[in-house]
């Protein structure tokens, strides 16, 4: 087994989280990893087969699928564990994945739209400022919207902060219309 068990656990859990987050299977992956870890812990025979060099890896995966819940990300973790001959880390991978999921649940998802996008340095600065202001980790998603002209449109949860040129022009137009309609009534 290359690397320490903790290092392997961390790398596998982090990679699993990144892939599951990318395809929207965070919860299903967590359940599958937990199911796989429980099955491996409960069955010395399963562990023995998963570690046996004479058993084809496809047969090992098929056997594990027959006794545990599976999604593609969990299958990738299992294949890595088989390749590394590190079946003993499955419980740790499951626990570390759950820990990552718990930490991410505390994140605030912030969507930002700009006319031209943000470069990496500006996005990092904005993320740091938002984390300081909100007092929580931020998951920042930046998108382009050409109709904004300039500035930022920021959505934090259900609240939207419009700091765009288009928004400012829209607010100015509303104010002018209100003032002109107010004068006509006098």
Q: What is the pLDDT of residues 23-67, one digit of tens each?
A: 889 899 999 999 999 999 999 999 999 999 999 999 999 999 999
Its pTM stands at 0.58
Half-sphere exposure of 30 (CA within 13 A, CB side): 14
Helices 72-84, 26-42: axis angle to 10 degrees equals: 40
pLDDT of 160 higher than 50? yes
Helices (DSSP H) in the chain: which residue ranges?
5-23, 26-42, 44-51, 57-67, 72-84, 90-105, 120-134, 165-185
**Nearest-angstrom CA–CA distance, 69 and 56:** 21
Say which residues have a Cβ less than 8 Å from residue 118's Cβ, sequence separation at least 6.
112, 126, 142
Three-state SS at 109: strand
Structure confidence at residue 103 (pLDDT): 75
Enter the tokens of residue 8. Answer: 């392997």
């Amino acid at each position: 087994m290359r690397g320490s068990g903790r290092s392997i656990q961390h790398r596998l859990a982090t990679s699993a989280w990144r892939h599951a987050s990318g395809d929207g299977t965070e919860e299903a992956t967590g359940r599958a990893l937990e199911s796989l870890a429980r099955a491996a812990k409960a069955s010395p025979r399963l562990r023995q087969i998963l570690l046996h060099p004479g058993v084809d890896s496809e047969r090992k995966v098929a056997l594990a699928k027959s006794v545990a819940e599976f999604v593609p990300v969990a299958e990738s973790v299992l294949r890595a564990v088989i390749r590394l001959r590190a079946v003993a880390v499955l419980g740790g991978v499951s626990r570390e994945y759950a820990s990552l999921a718990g930490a991410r649940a505390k994140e605030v998802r912030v969507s930002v739209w700009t006319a031209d996008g943000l470069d990496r340095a500006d996005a990092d600065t904005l993320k740091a400022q938002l984390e300081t202001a909100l007092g929580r980790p931020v998951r920042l998603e930046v998108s382009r919207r050409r109709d904004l002209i300039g500035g930022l449109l920021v959505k934090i949860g259900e609240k939207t902060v419009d700091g765009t040129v288009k928004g400012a022009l829209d607010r100015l137009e509303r104010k002018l219309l209100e003032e002109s309609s107010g004068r006509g009534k006098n």
